[in-house]
Structure 1
Amino acid sequence: MNDFSLDRPHMIRCQCWAARWCRSGAAAVALLLLSRQTAPAAEDRMSVRKTVPAAACDHRYGATATWSQGTDTAQKNSFWWAEACAFRSNLAVTVFDIPFRQGSRYVPIPEREAAARTGRLSFQVYVASDSWFDPVKKRVSRIPDYYATAWTQAGVNAGFQVEVGAAKRARFPNHGKQLYECSAGRFGYDTDKENAAKTDVLRGLLEVQTEWVREHFGHPASAGGYRNGQTGAAHGIRPFLLGVRNSSVTGGCSYGNSSMGSGTLGTEQRETLTHCQAVSLPLTTRAGDLERPQGDVLEHCAELLQGAITTHGWYRDFNHWHTSPRFELDLGEYYTAQRAAMGTHHVVTLDFGEALQHKFLRDMASVAARETALGVELTVTYADPYGTLPLSVFHIPLSVTVDLRQTRLATKEIAVDGCPVRKTGPGQAVVDVPFRGREEVITVLLKAVSGADHYLDLSLPSVLSVQRFGPELEVRTDKPVQLVLFAAPKGTGLRKVRVPVRSHRFSATHRLPVDADSDHDFYVGAITATGQSILHGPLASPIP
């Protein structure tokens, strides 16, 4: 007999009492009250029964490390070559670009826009350290006498306290203290006393440059690079950008503090990588500027990248594409060697701005998860810990890792409405939680679903077939992609490629117009919606 059993006399008396109570009508009221109390109580017991381990990922998609590489000019002699090499090695690369004084050597802006839309290259701000927002003409122009080696009347007319004919060094004065002292406090910024000048000639410049990126390349600018390596504008950067790379090289790969209990990420003197520090961000390498044999450079850079992987850091390189090879390093060989150094490690390659975005999203986020009757409720609270982040420049989500192994979803396929999900193992997932440009709390629900074809796909695409149909080339792939057709004079490899046609439609079948009888080698670049790319070719000649 268990604790709740009754002997027969007691059972009969209870049954009689229950019958009279039900006939009295009191039962209906009691049952209603009981339903109001017990149903929520059961749900509450379920909802608080288990806290689920969850944290903001240290790297986007839950990767082990992050890699970025950039240049500072979009010139015809290297732009499409770099793009083709990046397609081949599946690397995201950045152009720090500028809207001023573009000549015939430069890629036309519509072609830059088309490349940005394809997504292998992206564009950020090349902070024009040699320019200002002219306080008289109310437009951007070069700082008077900036590149001169002697002062002229233009410098005097601008308000600089100088004498015509007096010697000066080139690339002077720069924003910040140099302009402040040169103009007796009229322009610039006194970094020692943190005093702003009477007239702000920097803000208007940054407004023009950041707006130009947004207008032409489809997203707000979030990062930059300093022209001439001059960082005097750093004091005015934070309202506009998350960070700006300078020209110094440390070999470090700092990526701030881990959100997953791994201490600091990467190695560098600036371990925390705050917003204030990121406005003058050093590089890991400037591979193209190393005056050493190519083999030595490739080995050196591979070792630093492997160090970044080991310490879960952010490897960042800069290379002047238009002068490559300046010494002995070939850009394509560098990309190939870097991809080889990544090996089987999951290293996410990101635009400089996106790498900074994910870092600062991680800093903003407080993450919690709990199991409920409906699934697992994931809550991210976004709050700017610095009080200075320009929240409107973010356009990527935060990757959040969730451990479901001790929940009822452990063996289920899962989905989140409106959020991409990457399955990383049995009962483990990374959820991309949106950030909507403001401090707020966002809660999403992980729930069981049927089928597994909805997960985020980070695998490479494959070209299944290429056939010629009259004046068109039909390309079939194993998954939806955008396509780029590269063409180079026969036998010249990728160095002289141009792009006769692009397809910005995600599809597994494309038909591209092409003059297949021309004396060229053709290559097909394919890139998925998650930025995974290949380069297929050169195609057989003649194309069947």
Structure 2
Amino acid sequence: MTARNILRAIALCAGLQTMGQGKGDTKMDSRTVPAIACDHRYGAQATWSQSTDTSQLNSFYWAEACAFRENLALTVFDNSFAQGRAYVTVPERQEAAKSGRLSFQVYFLSDTWMNPKTGKPTRIPDYYGKVWTKAGVAAGFKVVPGEAKTTRTPNHGQQMFDVSGGRFGHDVKNGKPGREDVLTGLIEYQTNWVRTNFGACSAAGYRNGQTGASYAMPAHLLGVRNSGHNGDFSYGRSPHDEAILGTGRYPDLTPKDTASFVLTTRAGDVDDSRENVMRHCQKLLEQAIATHGWYRDFNHWHTSPRFGLSLEQFLADQRQTIGKHDVVSLDFGSALQHKFLRDMATVWAHETDAGIEVVVKFRDPYGSLPLGDFHIPLSVRVELAGTKLADRGVFSPQRCAIRRLPGNAIVVGVPFAGRACVAVIELKPTDTPSYLDLAKPRVLQTAFQDGNLLVTTDKPTRVVVFASPKGKGLRGVRPMARVHEPSTEHTIPLQPKPGHDLYVG
């Protein structure tokens, strides 16, 4: 890619430039081409997400294998602190992230603060206790040892402010910060850990469902899920006609809303029969699809099945309900990113002598979004009917991914530079187009030969080979090999494992 193309694809950051003819510009026709930011990534009809908050050995690889089987993206809200032998190691989590079905975001530790004496993250004194102790007094809390207290307190924000006499926390009622900040450092510590280990971070989940820190989150993250679930699948307003996407409980889904947003379901935590829970979730997903909303579930993988419905059954049923509907499965961070990219974008397009030029002006309408959290492009739909690109193959010289839709339309991914800017993308004809294919990959052939496992797929894919003791199914899987370089032909140094079934994802 040339330097000029990179600059045109990424940004003209001095503000919107005059789009007339000039040195190095293509002569432009006056004809406007219909183009708009998509409601959902890739121009999909609805968005689907699922998550957990631990990486335990008894369920982590089971969930990953199920995600491969159903072609669904799952999110792990993760934290940086020692978790013992029952947990998957961080290097193994990183390998799983590279394989593509699991993503990692922050599990915000509501029970932790940046210790004002040491400057390190530690448990808030007396947090889980039922009575105050000398530790609480030594920490600076205005309490009496032996006095009864509510467990899982004090939390960041108002509780911390009140119990410390204004030394810590935040007086949310009056917008007054405490004298010492014991929260910002913790948020930065946790988000930096996720970025360092997994490359990106834009969302979080609250431990214990405690949301006292929500007042501080919009400066650091695009959204934080709480523990509530009430059937909501709000996804803001459509750029097309301002129609509400989803339920409308949060019609605009602003950063204030996403600082503590509810889930659609917690399918694994409903004390009811498997059939009843499945019907309930099916109905909500059908409604989310019909209203172009964002379905989001949470499930403690490590305790599944806690009641009647297991994670494996839930994912299979959700995939069956999705069926042929155009639903995109995203991790929580990507779903939030696309929503706010959509809010920032003003889109237009016009024909040129060479094809079509798509222009996107990005501007933060809230004035407070953490722009460094974005790492996915904005999906823009462009109507080709009546243009010189109608019924022709299309490519972008800037190498932006393109999805072909029925009816002479495409969706192109327009990159965002992480600041207010204007991005310009060119679309030109080609006889050899290469389009995004979101259909589930198929394994065409597997065979052992000369000490290798040969895997052939119908499209370039990464590959994971899982092994499970015979009779255990996906619940017993462990990864035997991973290949992170996409290809249709894989030669993996691997022998059959006696007494085990092998699965290829």
Query: How high is the TM-score relative to the length of structure 1?
Result: 0.87
SS in 2 for 1:495: helix
CA contact (8 A) 1:250 1:268 kept: no
SS in 2 for 1:49: strand
- Tell me if 1:169 matches 2:163: no
Shift of 1:498: 0.8
Pairing of 1:261-300 with structure 2 (within 5 A): 261=241, 263-300=243-280
Q: Which residue of 2 aligns with 1:210?
A: 191
Q: Which residue of 1 aligns with 2:92?
A: 111
- Which of 332, 345, 352 matches 2:332? 352
**Percent identity over paired residues:** 54
Where does the alignment leave 5 or more consecutive residues of structure 2 unmatched? 1-19
> Matched residues in 1 for 2:143 and 2:83: separation?
31
SS in 2 for 1:402: strand
Q: Which residue of 2 aligns with 1:185?
A: 166
The CA deviation string for residues 348-401 of structure 1, in whole angstroms up to 9 with x for no partner, is: 000000000000000000001111222111100000000111111111000000
- Which of 447, 462, 466 matches 1:482? 462
Q: Which residue of 2 aligns with 1:240?
A: 220
CA contact (8 A) 1:54 1:367 kept: yes
CA contact (8 A) 1:46 1:371 kept: no
> Matched residues in 2 for 1:469 and 1:171: separation?
57
Pairing of 1:35-74 with structure 2 (within 5 A): 47-74=28-55
Pairing of 1:135-534 with structure 2 (within 5 A): 135-219=116-200, 221-261=201-241, 263-417=243-397, 418-452=399-433, 454-525=434-505
SS in 2 for 1:339: helix
SS in 2 for 1:111: helix
Shift of 1:514: 2.8
> Matched residues in 2 for 1:473 and 1:374: separation?
47
Q: Which residue of 2 aligns with 1:27?
A: none
Tell which deviates more after alignment, 47-56 or 479-488: 47-56
Shift of 1:45: 13
CA contact (8 A) 1:174 1:230 kept: yes
Pairing of 1:2-151 with structure 2 (within 5 A): 47-151=28-132
Shift of 1:163: 0.8
The CA deviation string for residues 491-511 of structure 1, in whole angstroms up to 9 with x for no partner, is: 111111111221111111222
User: 2:484 is matched by which residue type in structure 1?
Assistant: H
> Matched residues in 2 for 1:517 and 1:258: separation?
52
The CA deviation string for residues 110-153 of structure 1, in whole angstroms up to 9 with x for no partner, is: 10010011110000000100000111101000101101111111
CA contact (8 A) 2:235 2:246 kept: yes
Tell which deviates more after alignment, 244-253 or 509-518: 509-518
SS in 1 for 2:32: coil
SS in 2 for 1:238: helix
The CA deviation string for residues 22-46 of structure 1, in whole angstroms up to 9 with x for no partner, is: xxxxxxxxxxxxxxxxx979xx998
CA contact (8 A) 2:112 2:124 kept: yes
CA contact (8 A) 2:268 2:304 kept: yes
Q: Which residue of 2 aligns with 1:35?
A: none
SS in 1 for 2:473: coil
Shift of 1:260: 1.8
Which structure would you say has the larger RCO, counting Cα contacts within 8 Å and 6 or more residues apart?
A: 2
> Matched residues in 1 for 2:34 and 2:493: separation?
52
User: 1:389 is matched by which residue type in structure 2?
Assistant: L
The CA deviation string for residues 1-57 of structure 1, in whole angstroms up to 9 with x for no partner, is: xxxxxxxxxxxxxxxxxxxxxxxxxxxxxxxxxxxxxx979xx99835311111000
CA contact (8 A) 1:93 1:121 kept: yes
SS in 2 for 1:237: helix
> Matched residues in 2 for 1:168 and 1:53: separation?
61
> Matched residues in 1 for 2:299 and 2:349: separation?
43
CA contact (8 A) 1:248 1:282 kept: yes
The CA deviation string for residues 432-489 of structure 1, in whole angstroms up to 9 with x for no partner, is: 000111110011111112223x111212222121111243211111221111111111
Number of residues paired by the alignment?
Answer: 483
Tell which deviates more after alignment, 98-107 or 320-329: 98-107
